[in-house]
């Protein structure tokens, strides 16, 4: 999913598609300001999703020579370490510190959740399975808040939350079965 698609969808929902699309396609200055605001809203929504609702995961192999793996060695901005495995694929114990983690020496595979980097208009979202509509609702909500349109923001927030609930169901959130007492 391209960022530009999400910006166009949000502009359509907000009723400012003519100006925004004129800027995106032909560079007309009248749509530059709303398009840039919508780009900021896209980045807000993508970060909110990654931190609060649908985390993004990365897996990376690193060579651990001194027992410490600096988080700066990982390709993405780490939020939470999920697991650390040795070269044989066995889970190993590790300790977290603010700037690094301690683990046994050797080749390690680290699985972690991350914050997506800030995007520009022509880039792809880190979320490949989510809909443009979900992003459009979240962006419309944030745009309305930025513009001081609080009642309109409340309407978009409701639609955004409903789309999020649908995304949870589609992704197959973990279900805990009820227990029966015999």
Q: Do the beta carbons of residue 143 and residue 33 sit within 8 Å?
A: no
- pLDDT the model gives residue 180: 56
- Which whole number is the average pLDDT over 152-172? 86
Task: Tell me the pLDDT band of 168, cut-offs 50, 70 and 90.
Answer: confident
pLDDT digits (tens, 9 = 90+) for 104-119: 999 999 999 999 999 9
Per-residue pLDDT band at 175 (split at 50, 70, 90)? very low
Mean pLDDT calculated for residue range 15-34: 85
pLDDT at residue 170, as a whole number: 59
- CB–CB of 123/89 below 8 Å? no
pLDDT at 51 over 70: yes
Residue 176 pLDDT grade (very low, low, confident, very high; cuts 50, 70, 90): very low
- Rounded to whole angstroms, the Cα distance separating 4 from 122 reads 6
The owner of tokens 């900021």 is 40
Q: How confident is the model at residue 179 (pLDDT cuts 50, 70, 90)?
A: low
This prediction has a pTM of 0.84
> d(Cα 68, Cα 145) in Å, to the nearest integer?
44
* Rg, the chain, Cα only: 21
Q: β-pairing, 95-96 with 100-102?
A: antiparallel
């Amino acid at each position: 999913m391209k960022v530009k698609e999400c910006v166009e969808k949000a502009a359509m929902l907000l009723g400012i598609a003519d100006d925004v699309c004129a800027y995106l396609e032909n560079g007309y200055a009248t749509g530059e300001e709303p398009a840039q605001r919508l780009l900021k809203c896209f980045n807000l929504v993508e970060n909110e999703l990654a931190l609060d609702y649908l985390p993004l995961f990365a897996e990376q192999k690193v060579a651990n020579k001194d027992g410490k793996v600096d988080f700066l060695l990982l390709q993405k901005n780490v939020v939470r370490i999920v697991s650390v495995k040795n070269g044989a694929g066995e889970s190993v114990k590790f300790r977290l510190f603010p700037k690094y983690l301690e683990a046994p020496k050797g080749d390690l595979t680290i699985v972690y959740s991350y914050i997506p980097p800030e995007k520009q208009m022509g880039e792809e979202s880190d979320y490949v399975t989510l809909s443009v509509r979900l992003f459009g609702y979240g962006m419309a909500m944030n745009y309305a808040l930025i513009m001081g349109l609080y009642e309109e923001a409340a309407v978009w927030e409701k639609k955004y939350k409903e789309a999020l609930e649908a995304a949870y169901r589609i992704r197959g959130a973990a279900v805990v079965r009820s227990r029966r007492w015999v």
